[in-house]
Protein backbone atom coordinates (compact mmCIF):
# COMPACT_ATOMS: atom_id res chain seq x y z
CA UNK A 1 0.00 0.00 0.00
CA UNK A 2 1.28 3.43 -0.91
CA UNK A 3 1.50 5.80 2.05
CA UNK A 4 2.96 8.83 0.26
CA UNK A 5 4.90 9.83 3.38
CA UNK A 6 1.99 9.92 5.81
CA UNK A 7 1.60 8.36 9.23
CA UNK A 8 -1.75 6.75 8.42
CA UNK A 9 -2.57 4.66 5.35
CA UNK A 10 -3.94 6.83 2.57
CA UNK A 11 -7.10 4.68 2.61
CA UNK A 12 -7.63 5.79 6.22
CA UNK A 13 -7.48 9.42 5.17
CA UNK A 14 -10.07 8.78 2.47
CA UNK A 15 -12.26 7.11 5.11
CA UNK A 16 -12.05 10.23 7.27
CA UNK A 17 -12.98 12.41 4.30
CA UNK A 18 -15.95 10.20 3.34
CA UNK A 19 -17.35 10.09 6.87
CA UNK A 20 -16.77 13.83 7.23
CA UNK A 21 -18.68 14.56 4.01
CA UNK A 22 -21.47 11.97 4.23
CA UNK A 23 -21.85 11.19 7.92
CA UNK A 24 -21.68 7.92 9.88
CA UNK A 25 -21.32 4.74 7.82
CA UNK A 26 -21.28 1.01 8.47
CA UNK A 27 -18.30 -1.15 7.53
CA UNK A 28 -20.28 -2.58 4.59
CA UNK A 29 -21.18 0.89 3.30
CA UNK A 30 -17.58 2.07 3.57
CA UNK A 31 -16.26 -1.02 1.79
CA UNK A 32 -18.74 -0.60 -1.04
CA UNK A 33 -18.24 3.14 -1.51
CA UNK A 34 -14.44 3.05 -1.42
CA UNK A 35 -14.12 -0.32 -3.20
CA UNK A 36 -11.75 -1.62 -0.54
CA UNK A 37 -11.28 -5.20 0.52
CA UNK A 38 -12.63 -5.94 3.99
CA UNK A 39 -9.09 -6.61 5.20
CA UNK A 40 -7.82 -3.22 3.99
CA UNK A 41 -10.89 -1.50 5.42
CA UNK A 42 -10.58 -3.16 8.84
CA UNK A 43 -6.90 -2.21 9.00
CA UNK A 44 -7.66 1.43 8.20
CA UNK A 45 -10.60 1.56 10.64
CA UNK A 46 -8.48 0.01 13.39
CA UNK A 47 -5.70 2.55 12.87
CA UNK A 48 -8.17 5.46 12.91
CA UNK A 49 -9.88 4.18 16.04
CA UNK A 50 -6.57 3.69 17.87
CA UNK A 51 -5.51 7.23 16.96
CA UNK A 52 -8.80 8.61 18.30
CA UNK A 53 -10.19 9.83 14.97
CA UNK A 54 -13.18 7.45 14.85
CA UNK A 55 -15.52 5.82 17.35
CA UNK A 56 -18.03 2.99 16.94
CA UNK A 57 -21.72 3.59 17.60
CA UNK A 58 -24.56 1.09 17.74
CA UNK A 59 -26.72 0.76 14.66
CA UNK A 60 -30.16 0.73 16.26
CA UNK A 61 -31.84 -0.49 13.09
CA UNK A 62 -29.50 -3.52 12.82
CA UNK A 63 -27.68 -4.50 16.00
CA UNK A 64 -25.36 -6.82 14.03
CA UNK A 65 -23.52 -3.83 12.57
CA UNK A 66 -21.91 -0.65 13.87
CA UNK A 67 -21.65 2.90 12.61
CA UNK A 68 -18.26 4.57 12.41
CA UNK A 69 -18.45 8.21 13.49
CA UNK A 70 -15.85 10.97 13.56
CA UNK A 71 -14.45 11.56 17.04
CA UNK A 72 -12.87 14.88 16.09
CA UNK A 73 -14.73 18.15 15.49
CA UNK A 74 -15.79 18.64 11.86
CA UNK A 75 -13.92 21.94 11.63
CA UNK A 76 -10.63 20.15 12.43
CA UNK A 77 -10.89 17.35 9.85
CA UNK A 78 -9.05 19.08 7.00
CA UNK A 79 -6.27 20.15 9.37
CA UNK A 80 -5.83 16.58 10.65
CA UNK A 81 -5.74 15.23 7.09
CA UNK A 82 -3.23 17.84 5.96
CA UNK A 83 -1.03 17.18 8.99
CA UNK A 84 -1.08 13.40 8.45
CA UNK A 85 -0.52 13.66 4.73
CA UNK A 86 1.73 16.68 4.55
CA UNK A 87 -0.55 18.05 1.81
CA UNK A 88 -4.27 18.57 1.25
CA UNK A 89 -6.11 15.26 0.68
CA UNK A 90 -7.67 16.65 -2.48
CA UNK A 91 -4.24 16.44 -4.12
CA UNK A 92 -4.36 12.61 -4.03
CA UNK A 93 -6.86 10.71 -6.13
CA UNK A 94 -8.85 7.75 -4.83
CA UNK A 95 -7.07 5.55 -7.41
CA UNK A 96 -3.70 6.45 -5.86
CA UNK A 97 -5.06 5.62 -2.41
CA UNK A 98 -6.27 2.18 -3.43
CA UNK A 99 -2.94 1.05 -4.92
CA UNK A 100 -2.12 -2.29 -3.33
CA UNK A 101 -5.53 -2.71 -1.67
- Give 72-88 pLDDT, tens digit per residue: 888 888 888 788 766 55
pLDDT at 39: 93
**61: in domain:** yes
Tell me how many domains the chain contains.
1
Among the residue ranges 27-31, 73-77, 86-90, 93-97, the one predicted with the least confidence is 93-97
Strands (E), the chain: 25-26, 54-58, 66-70
pTM of the full structure: 0.73
* Mean pLDDT to the nearest integer, 27-40: 92
Bin 86: left if φ > 0, else alpha if -120 < ψ < 50, else beta: left
CATH assignment at residue 70: 1.10.10.10
* Mean pLDDT to the nearest integer, 1-30: 81
**1: in domain:** no
CA dist 98 and 64 (Å) reads: 27
Amino acid sequence: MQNIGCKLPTNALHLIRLIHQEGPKTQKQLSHELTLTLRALRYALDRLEKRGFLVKRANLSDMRSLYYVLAIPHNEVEGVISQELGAPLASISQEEAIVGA
